[in-house]
């Protein structure tokens, strides 16, 4: 079968949900397995959904050349993808090239560029890597930024269980939301938000994929905070920011059918505004079942902090409740999530503030949430369905407290195309 025929068959099968297996394989090899040249089709780039683009259709390719003829040796990697949003009428794309050295260090050096959407103000350790180019396009997020980002990254295993990654990134970012929600530049008379420039250096230390420390420092301009220059002109305010996150997570077996996951994270930032990398405490619903460690009851742009701590415990079933030939193999879980955070502004800890008309609130008296759900309730040739319910526990003295119990309850369903 020719390459063109293979790609046409992939697209047809994806649209009809007909013949693709349920193995959730992301990459489909298009070249012979015995060849040093490996060309792969990225199934995850074929279709995605979010609240800004609605449907995104695209394609992604990965090319790997093995100099030594085996996976542990020296390799050259090249990735590229493109996609078109049917609601914003815009193309998104990215590319990366990297070289992986052989031996125990598994050192990788690479360059990348993306022109895509990204969930604004991400709080957790960023998962962006050279081999995961697209930003969070599968998230049903209300708060999106349009980003153009170039990066150089070096990753290496400095000890048997210790990995270190250093990166330098330059980006231009445009917020696609305001205090009322999403904005659509092409649907709103050509209106666009001001762009912000970022230059950021980062070091991430990972021990055994259990303990992580992320330190980031950078510079940005804030177009909405103008200062008067010597000639009487209004100039952008330049801001230097530093932020750090320490994270610990571990899984403990519970009998033969369960597992308890402990997740702890603390973070601090010099940021005073969302534009200079303040932490987002939640407010995102995933189109996939990305509910682990997340606050499901928070609304978009509802909670922010530049100092915070979080502890999350999750008890989940390892074995499914039943298994109907793989089409339904549900796993249940319960989760307890607690966080404290504050806004450190001008030498004081405050619970709320406003910036450019956008209200910011922090869980200065604590935030708790109990949730339960089930994953993989239905799995039909790439369509995975799950559900969850969560209830927010807050003090009535908190600025984000909701008097109506129904407003503290969140019922969520998840339908994910996984191919």
Least confident interval from 8-22, 43-57, 163-177, 329-343:
8-22
Residues in the chain: 419
pLDDT at residue number 187: 62
Residue partners of 137: CB distance under 8 A and separation at least 6: 48, 50, 53, 56, 83, 92, 116, 117
- Coil, helix or strand for 15? helix
pLDDT at residue number 408: 86
List pLDDT tens digits, range 332-378. Answer: 999 999 999 888 888 888 888 776 666 778 888 899 999 998 888 88
pLDDT at residue number 253: 95
**6 pLDDT exceeds 50?**
no
**293 pLDDT exceeds 70?**
yes
**129 pLDDT exceeds 50?**
no
pTM value?
Answer: 0.75
Q: How far apart are the first and last CA of the chain?
A: 21
* Confidence grade of residue 119 (pLDDT, cut at 50, 70, 90): low
Least confident interval from 64-68, 106-110, 378-382, 410-414:
378-382
State phi, psi for 157 to the nearest 5 degrees.
-95, 105
Residues 419, 405: Cα–Cα separation, whole Å: 38
List pLDDT tens digits, range 379-398. Answer: 765 566 788 888 999 888 88
**184 pLDDT exceeds 80?**
no
Residue range 195-214: mean pLDDT, rounded: 91
Closest CA to 273 of 348, 154, 358: 358
Residue range 291-315: mean pLDDT, rounded: 80
pLDDT at residue number 299: 66
Of the two residues 126 and 27, the one the predictor is more confident about is 27
Least confident interval from 13-22, 229-238, 383-392:
13-22
* Confidence grade of residue 410 (pLDDT, cut at 50, 70, 90): confident
- Coil, helix or strand for 36? coil
Of the two residues 88 and 237, the one the predictor is more confident about is 88
Residue 128 gets which letter from DSSP?
-
């Amino acid at each position: 079968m020719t390459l063109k025929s293979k790609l046409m068959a992939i697209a047809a099968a994806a649209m009809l949900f007909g013949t693709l297996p349920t193995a959730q394989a992301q990459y489909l090899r298009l070249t012979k397995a015995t060849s040093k040249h490996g060309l792969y089709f990225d199934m995850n780039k074929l279709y995605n959904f979010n609240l800004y683009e609605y449907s995104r259709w695209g394609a992604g390719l990965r090319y790997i050349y093995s100099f030594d003829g085996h996976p542990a040796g020296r390799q050259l990697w090249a990735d590229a993808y493109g996609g078109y949003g049917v609601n914003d009428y815009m193309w998104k794309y990215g590319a990366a090239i990297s070289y992986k050295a052989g031996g125990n260090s598994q050192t990788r050096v690479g360059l990348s560029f993306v022109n895509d959407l990204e969930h604004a103000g991400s709080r957790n350790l960023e998962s962006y890597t050279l081999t995961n180019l697209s930003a969070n396009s599968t998230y049903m997020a209300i708060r999106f930024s349009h980003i153009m980002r170039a990066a150089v990254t070096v990753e290496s295993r400095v000890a048997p269980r210790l990995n270190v990654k250093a990166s330098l990134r330059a980006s231009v970012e445009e917020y696609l939301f305001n205090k009322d929600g999403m904005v659509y530049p092409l649907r709103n008379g050509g209106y666009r938000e001001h762009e912000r420039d970022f230059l950021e250096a980062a070091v991430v230390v990972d021990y055994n994929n259990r303990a992580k420390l992320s330190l980031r420092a950078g510079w940005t301009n804030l177009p909405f905070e103008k200062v008067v220059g010597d000639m009487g002109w209004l100039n952008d305010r330049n801001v230097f920011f530093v932020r750090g996150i320490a994270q610990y997570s571990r899984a403990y077996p519970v009998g033969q059918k369960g597992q308890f996951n402990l997740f702890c994270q603390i973070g601090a930032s010099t940021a005073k505004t969302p534009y200079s990398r303040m932490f987002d405490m939640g407010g995102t619903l995933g189109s996939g079942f990305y509910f682990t460690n997340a606050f499901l009851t928070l609304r978009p742009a509802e909670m922010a902090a530049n100092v915070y701590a979080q502890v999350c415990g999750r008890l989940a079933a390892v074995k499914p409740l039943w298994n109907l030939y793989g089409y339904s193999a549900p796993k249940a879980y319960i989760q307890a999530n607690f966080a404290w955070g504050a806004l450190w502004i001008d030498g004081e800890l405050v619970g709320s503030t406003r910036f450019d008309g956008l209200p910011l609130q922090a869980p200065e008296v604590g935030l708790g949430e109990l949730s339960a759900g089930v994953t993989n309730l239905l799995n039909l040739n790439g369509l995975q369905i799950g559900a969850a319910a969560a209830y927010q526990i807050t003090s009535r003295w908190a600025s984000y407290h909701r008097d109506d119990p129904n407003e503290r309850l969140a019922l969520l369903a998840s339908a994910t195309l996984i191919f």
